[in-house]
A = this chain, B = another copy of it.
Amino acid sequence: MQKKYAVKMPNKLKCKILRDSHNAKLFSLIIILVVIGEFLVLCGFAQAEDGYRLWLRYDLITEAEKLSAYKTAFIAINMEGNSPTLNTARKELSNGLAGLLGTRLAFVQAITKHGVIVVGTPQSSPMIAALNLQKKLHAAGEEGFIIHSMNANGKKCTVIAAQNDIGVLYGVFHFLRLLQTRQDINVLSIISTPKIKLRLLNHWDNLDGSVERGYAGTSLWDWHKLPDYISPRYKDYARANASIGINGTVLTNVNANAMVLTARYLEKVAALAEVFRPYGLKVYLTARFSAPVEIGGLPTADPLDAQVRAWWRHKADEIYRFIPDFGGFLVKANSEGQPGPQNYGRTHAEGANLLAEAVAPHGGVVMWRAFVYDNNMPEDRAKQAYNEFKPLDGKYRNNVLIQVKNGPIDFQPREPFHPLFGVMPRTPLMMEFQITQEYLGFATHLVYLAPLFKEVLDADTYAHGEGSLVANVIDGKLDQHTLSGIAGVSNIGDDRNWCGHPFAQANWFAFGRLAWDHRQTAEIIADDWLRMTFTNNEKFIAPAQSMLLASREITVNYMTPLGLHHLMGWSHHYGPGPWIDQGRADWTSVYYHRADSLGIGFNRSPSGSDAVGQYFFPVRQKFGDLATCPEPYLLWFHHVPWQHKMKSGRTLWEELCFKYYSGVDSVRAMRKTWETLAGMIDDERFSHVQALLKIQEQEAVWWRNACLLYFQTFSKLPIPQEYEKPDRTLEYYMQLKFPYAPGI
């Protein structure tokens, strides 16, 4: 690095100056490149590529043709209006283009030349108002936007317009993305509107700064120094969310602490809301159901108690005095020890309506989680949410959403879609995805989650016959709900690169993109993210994209293939623990894999727990019959003999070995692929990923060996000759202890 610049710069300078002293532009660009490089080298501590900028990088476009094409197409900006959100959009557009094009576009009042970018709403911009875009803007909806190439005053211009200011900001980010990904921009005709109304991150952040299941440092929220010290990261966080259309954030853990509802903390929450507001990001809080007792001094939290109802109403009024646009409450009740209405013999509906009534006057919502299972487990845990919630359909206030995890257990590498989707037509159901990789290798495994998200969203519930997709349950289309929502459990912490693993940023990005429009493909989203985050060099994109797209299936293979689930280490969930058999039964592994001398798997068919009975026909039949059950879900629904013949012709045991070994082989292949990409991106992020892939391989081998050696004690069958022998004993793996694994 240093040498390169040290030598080049002086020469370049001199000769350039002597030769083309009028070609100032080209000249300045070369200087910019050289000097920026030199500058980076000179900062004693390199302001290195540490991933902090996420996908919002506006570095100079290096492809000469593209650059000149863009610079011809865009010569100036016309943007009136002066709201916090419009000013934010203006700054973003100006900075973004200045970075990408290497020159800062002028702001013009009138359109007198080709190439003006016209930005705003009919209210903010006379120009927009005059362009007669009502129809298109109506189609774009409340938060949507249009980006159109059109003529104004006989001049070719590009219009970024929306009904509301926030749509303009979304449109600006979309427009900049077109340039970041080097797309053609001459004939643009984009109408973009979010399919889901509430697009939220759920932070499982505690008031002490720890993050439950967080693997990227501690909480972003510096409660101790709030409200007086406002970290610059708060704004950067809001900006990143706005760039992908996320419009809400739940700041606190679902295992809730009532203290956040006290005035001292509400003042801190208000300070965050203030920073987020221009970016269209609303704050929500988790409500601890017993708060009236813990901070209200009441003898009870019974939802039907008049004092309790009054307390919540006053608390809501107080919150809205601090935060006029407060979004509402997220609640985990009567689950895993959290208090709830059942403590008082009331239903989840009665509990949810208590809070809904309190926030309703202010336009707030209540998101009530369906992730519940009884401490005494009368039933297959997979069935309990359905059993508790289905009967309550129709009993909720209209500002209540039920937040359902993608699958019936708990964010496993692969689960069938949750049986609640489609069975509560009178209640808006929210999707809860987990972006943080609690069960997918923490922040050291490269796992792109868009394929997992898509697999669930595209699943067909058959609720109203074929084509009743999960996606249309949660976007409200299937049962005509105007209120709709989707939540992603955040993987964001105060690590410099936000998400720990440089590639984990892709999952934050993908969640936002899919929350906005679930029809987008995992491929497109991966392509966009790679180009925006690393480079447009096709030699990098193609192999990196195939790594991303394959990574989730690879992880399923080395962790929990063929429908296996919940095999991880106890409590911290780090690494494999198929042998876990102590403590609460449905927190053990043996409860789920049921391995014995005959076979392995959880019989949820009609001859077993009949969890399949919770699905609509014909899904229940397909899953319920060993012959028709898709092999990726086989051991989820069936207890299968070790000698069972699989479609591959292998026996179940052989197939299990095959999957675990191919999982490890694929990680090794990923490492090889990554090595070939050296030099195509910055060394810092390259070597960071390189180191993490090494850890991923070690842990994939750990998973494979530990699981196969353990299951072998039941199958009594050999690991086929062709595979490398495990280099450790089962006893070795079983005695490993990790008291300081992160994330709890």
Contact = CB atoms under 8 A, between A and B. Distances in A.
Interface of A: 2, 5-6, 9-10, 13-14, 17-18, 21-22, 24, 27-28, 31-32, 35-36, 38-39, 41-45, 47-48, 50, 52-54, 56-59, 91, 94-96, 98-99, 103-104, 207-209, 217-218, 223-225, 228-230, 232, 236, 259, 444, 494, 496, 684, 688, 691-692, 694-695, 698, 739-742
Interface centre among A22, A39, A217 (most CB of B within 10 A): A39
7 contacts: A17-B17, A35-B36, A36-B36, A42-B59, A44-B53, A44-B57, A209-B740
Interface centre among A6, A44, A691 (most CB of B within 10 A): A44
Contacts of A42: 58-59, 95, 98-99
Nearest to A233: B496
**Total copies of the chain:** 2
Contact of A104 (B6, B28, B223, B684): B6
Contacts of A18: 21-22
B229 A742 contact: no
Contacts of A53: 43-45
Given A2-B94, A740-B207, A44 B99 contact: yes
A152 B676 CA distance: 50
Nearest to A206: B740
Contact of A209 (B14, B36, B99, B742): B742
A692 B229 contact: yes
Given A35-B35, A56-B45, A695 B229 contact: yes
A207 B742 CA distance: 10
Given A228-B691, A691-B228, A2 B36 contact: no
Contact of A24 (B17, B229, B698): B17
B31 A35 contact: yes
Given A45-B53, A47-B47, 8 more contacts: A2-B98, A5-B104, A18-B22, A35-B35, A35-B36, A228-B694, A228-B695, A232-B684
Contacts of A27: 13, 17
Contacts of A741: 224
Contacts of A739: 207-208, 259
Contacts of A742: 209, 224
- Give me the 10 closest cross-chain CB pairs, A-B, nearest first: A42-B99, A6-B104, A47-B47, A44-B56, A229-B691, A208-B740, A45-B53, A21-B21, A207-B740, A35-B35
A692 B21 CA distance: 50
B6 A45 contact: no
A17 to B, nearest CB: 5
Nearest to A31: B31
Contacts of A59: 42
A96 B28 contact: no
Contacts of A684: 232
B22 A17 contact: yes
B225 A41 contact: no
A741 to B, nearest CB: 7
B691 A230 contact: yes
B44 A2 contact: no
Nearest to A207: B740
Contact of A45 (B22, B52, B207, B695): B52
A32 B31 CA distance: 8
Nearest to A19: B21
A741 B259 CA distance: 14
A599 B18 CA distance: 84
Contact of A2 (B5, B6, B91): B91
A90 to B, nearest CB: 11
Contacts of A2: 91, 94-95, 98, 104
A76 to B, nearest CB: 13
Contacts of A494: 217, 494
Contact of A58 (B36, B44, B50): B44
A320 B419 CA distance: 58
Nearest to A741: B224
Given A36-B35, A740-B207, A98 B41 contact: yes
Contacts of A54: 45
Contacts of A232: 48, 50, 684
A284 to B, nearest CB: 20
Interface centre among A45, A57, A698 (most CB of B within 10 A): A45
Contacts of A104: 2, 5-6
Contacts of A692: 225, 228-229
B24 A14 contact: yes
Contacts of A207: 739-740
A224 B13 contact: no
Contacts of A52: 45
Nearest to A14: B24
A694 B226 CA distance: 12
B6 A98 contact: yes
A41 B95 contact: yes
A132 to B, nearest CB: 33
Contacts of A224: 740-742
A180 to B, nearest CB: 10
B694 A99 contact: no
Nearest to A176: B44
A32 B44 CA distance: 16
A58 B41 CA distance: 11
Contacts of A698: 228
A44 B228 contact: no
Contact of A39 (B39, B103, B229, B691): B39
A235 to B, nearest CB: 10
Contacts of A43: 53, 57-58, 99
Contacts of A209: 740, 742
Contacts of A217: 217-218, 494
A168 B621 CA distance: 77
Nearest to A223: B740
A95 B2 CA distance: 8
A79 to B, nearest CB: 15
Interface centre among A57, A98, A224 (most CB of B within 10 A): A224
B695 A44 contact: no
